[in-house]
């Protein structure tokens, strides 16, 4: 919510300019989301200190993992080039590189979780990218609903207008929110079931045979 809301505000400010006149109250938006992001980061550090991450694998990647990351980034670049040549230079390249970094991070986490098969690691990394993108999109949408409340906008009508592209910002925020609402549960499901299957496989006892 904090990082996603701040990023979305920065994207809108880059496209439409900073808030001016009556819209200057919107400067509360990045101020609140930055504080929320800072608090969430500090709380996560405390939680990880109380319950550290325990993985059975190693923080290492194979050459196939690096090639898969390159392929994933290239696929994102191809997708942006196909969707919109207008937004390719301004948003497509940066978004694709960010998605590639998230895919690489997801692959590292999968290796640490002791995924043996490369295909499962890459599937987990894809779910990790979808989960992160969905969380950022849904978080920024939640911030928008809170900001809309200051302007006495009906929440359900505002939600419909923003998600389905009928608001004055244009079409691209609607695509971001719609895809985020789809990617978040999909990414959560992929990561959850793959991690659960790995934990179950590790927990199964090894049967000893007597010759």
Confirm whether 28 is domain-assigned: no
* Average pLDDT of the chain, as a whole number: 76
- CA-to-CA dists, residue 188 to 6, 42, 101, 141, angstroms: 23, 23, 18, 18
- 167-194 burial by CB neighbour count: b if 16+ within 10 A, else e? beeeeebbebbeebeebbeebeebbeeb
CB 76 within 8 A of CB 100: yes
Q: Whole-model pTM?
A: 0.72
* Domain presence at residue 41: no
Q: Are 155 and 149 in contact (CB under 8 A)?
A: yes
68 burial type by CB count under 10 A (0-12 exposed, 13-18 middle, 19+ buried): buried
Q: Residues with Cβ < 8 Å from 100, sequence gap 6 or more? A: 69, 70, 72, 73, 76
Answer whether residue 52 is part of any domain: no
- Residues whose CB falls within 8 Å of the CB of residue 54, separated by 6 or more in sequence, listed in order: none
Report the alpha-carbon distance of residue 135 to residue 115 in Å, rounded. Answer: 24
The verdict on residue 152 lying in a domain is yes
| Domain membership flag for residue 37 | no
- Total of domains in the chain: 1
Residue 142 lies in domain: 60-200
Would residue 34 count as lying in a domain?
no
- Asked whether residue 122 is assigned to any structural domain, the reply reads yes
Give residue-wise pLDDT tens across range 81-92.
Answer: 887 777 777 777
> What is the per-residue pLDDT across 117-171, written as a single tens digit (0 to 9) for each?
889 999 999 999 999 888 888 877 777 777 777 666 676 777 777 777 655 555 5
User: Does a structural domain hold residue 104?
Assistant: yes
More confident residue, 49 or 107: 107
């Amino acid at each position: 919510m904090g990082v996603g809301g701040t990023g979305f505000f920065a994207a809108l400010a880059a496209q439409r300019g900073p808030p001016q006149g009556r819209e200057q109250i919107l400067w509360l938006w990045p101020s609140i989301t930055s504080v929320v992001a800072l608090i969430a980061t500090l709380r996560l550090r405390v939680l990880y200190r109380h319950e550290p991450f325990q993985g059975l694998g190693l923080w290492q990647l194979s050459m196939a993992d690096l090639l898969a990351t390159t392929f994933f980034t290239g696929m994102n670049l191809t997708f942006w080039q196909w969707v919109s040549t207008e937004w390719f230079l301004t948003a497509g390249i940066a978004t694709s590189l960010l998605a590639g970094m998230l895919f690489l991070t997801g692959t590292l986490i999968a290796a640490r979780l002791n995924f043996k098969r490369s295909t499962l690691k890459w599937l987990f990394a894809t779910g990790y990218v979808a989960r992160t993108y969905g969380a950022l999109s849904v978080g920024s949408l939640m911030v928008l609903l809170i900001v809309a409340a200051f302007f006495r906008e009906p929440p359900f009508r505002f939600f419909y207008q923003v998600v389905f592209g009928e608001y004055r910002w244009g079409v691209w925020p609607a695509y971001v929110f719609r895809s985020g609402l789809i990617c978040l549960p999909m990414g959560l499901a992929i990561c959850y079931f793959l991690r659960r299957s790995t934990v179950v496989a590790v927990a199964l006892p090894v049967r000893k045979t007597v010759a």
